[in-house]
Amino acid sequence: MKFASTRLIAADIAKMVAFYELVTGQSADWLAPQFAEIVTSGARLAIGSAETVALFKEDTAEAGANRTAILEFRVEDVDVEFERLKSSVEVVIEPKLLPWGNRTVQFRDPEGTLVSLFTPVTEGAQARFGGR
């Protein structure tokens, strides 16, 4: 089995796609008017409009209802990214060092999902991620 992607359901897909294009610096591939993907070197983020839920089974997913997941993006310098994004996003946690060695900033996407950018800064964290 190979993990393929994380998919978010959006009430306003254009707003969500624009947000993740800003955060990742990657342009989305629009595969249909109601479905786009942003491909990074480490993962694929799929974004579907709320109307795509019915293609599977009605009411199985709901836009704006997630409070259990955190999307994490490893970046070269979390402080630089924070300065770049802080006026355009809802900041939840300003940059801080976490006990497992990552310097992290967190904010919310337009649907409320928590997004974390992190840089491994301790020797142990850098070893887990193959260096800085």
Alpha-carbon distance 69 to 54, whole Å? 22
Count structural domains, the chain.
Answer: 2
Q: What is the pLDDT of residue 52?
A: 84
DSSP state of 77: -
Q: What is the pLDDT of residues 24-67, one digit of tens each?
A: 999 999 999 999 999 998 889 999 998 888 777 777 777 888 87
Please give the residue range of the domain that contains residue 58: 1-65
CATH number at residue 108: 3.10.180.10
The answer to whether residues 51 and 71 belong to one domain is no
The answer to whether residues 25 and 75 belong to one domain is no
Q: Which residues pair with 37 in a beta bridge?
A: 29, 46
Q: What is the pLDDT of residue 50?
A: 87
Q: What is the pLDDT of residue 55?
A: 74
Alpha-carbon distance 3 to 7, whole Å? 12
With contact defined as beta carbons under 8 Å apart, do 37 and 26 qualify? Answer: no
Apex 29 CA angle, 25 and 31, nearest 5: 160
Strand intervals (E) in the chain: 6-10, 29-32, 35-39, 44-49, 70-74, 90-97, 102-108, 114-120
The answer to whether residues 56 and 3 belong to one domain is yes
